[in-house]
Structure 1
Amino acid sequence: MISKALDTYFPKLVTMPALKQDIMAISTMVTLDAGTVILKQGAYVKVIPLLISGLAKVFKEDEDGHEVLLYYIKPGESCVMSVLSMSRNGSSQVKAIIEEKAEIVVIPVDKVMVIAKKYPKWNEFIYDLFNIKFEELLTVIQILTFSNKDIRLLEYLKKEVVLKKNTVLHTTHQQIAIELGSSREVISRLLKKLENEGAIILKQGSIEVL
Structure 2
Amino acid sequence: MSNIVEELTKTFPEFSTELKSEIVKQGRLMHLKAGEVLMSIGGEFRTIPLITSGAIKVMREDEDGRELFLYYLRPGQTCAMSLNCFMLSKPSEVYAVAEEETTIIALKAENIGSWLEKFPDWRAFVIGTFQLRFHEMLSTIDGIAFRQLDARLLEFLKEKAAVMGTKTIITTHQDLADHLNSTREVISRLLKILEKKGEIELGRNKITLV
Q: C-alpha distance in 2, partners of 1:101/1:162?
A: 15
Matched, 1:193 2:193: yes
Q: Which residue of structure 1 lines up, in the alignment, with residue 9 of structure 2? A: 7
> Following TM superposition, where does structure 1 have runs of at least 4 consecutive aligned residues deviating by more than 3 angstroms?
none
Aligned to 1:127: 127
The within-5 A match list for 1:10-49 is: 10-13=12-15, 16-49=16-49
How far the C-alpha of 1:83 sits from its partner, in A, is 0.3
* Structure-to-structure mapping, 1:1-210, within 5 angstroms: 1-13=3-15, 16-210=16-210
Partners of 1:208 and 1:19 in 2: how far apart? Answer: 42
Deviations 1:97-149 (A, max 9, x none): 11011011001111223323422321110111211121111111111111111
Q: Which moved more, 1:87-96 or 1:115-124?
A: 115-124
Hey, what's the Cα distance between the residues in 1 that align with 2:40 and 2:117? Answer: 26
Distance 1:23 1:161 in 2: 31
Q: Compute the TM-score of the two structures, normalised by the length of structure 1.
A: 0.95
Aligned equivalents of 1:111, 1:35: Cα separation in 2: 28
How far apart, CA to CA, are the structure 2 residues paired with 1:23 and 1:96? 22
Matching residue's letter, 1:9:
T
CA offset digits 1:6-39 (Å, max 9, x no partner): 11111222xx222111110011001110111111
CA distance, structure 2, for counterparts of residue 97 and residue 83 of structure 1: 17
How far did 1:46 drift? Answer: 1.0
Farther-moved stretch of structure 1 (117-126 vs 171-180)? 117-126
Taking the aligned partners of 1:6 and 1:97, their CA distance within structure 2 comes to 22
Cα distance in 2, alignment partners of residues 153 and 48 from structure 1? 30
1:198, distance to aligned residue in structure 2 (A)? 1.3
The letter for the 2-side match of 1:27 is G
- Percentage of matched positions with identical amino acids: 38
The one-letter code sitting in structure 1 at the alignment partner of 2:7 is: A
Post-superposition CA distance 1:62-111 (Å, at most 9, x none): 11111100111000101110000011111111111110110110011112
Give the Cα–Cα distance (whole angstroms) in 1 for the partners of residues 164 and 186 of structure 2. Answer: 24
User: How many corresponding residue pairs?
Assistant: 208
Deviations 1:152-184 (A, max 9, x none): 111111112222221111111111111111111
User: Unpaired runs of 5+ in structure 1?
Assistant: none
Q: Distance in 2 between matches of 1:152 and 1:19?
A: 39
CA-atom RMSD in angstroms: 1.1
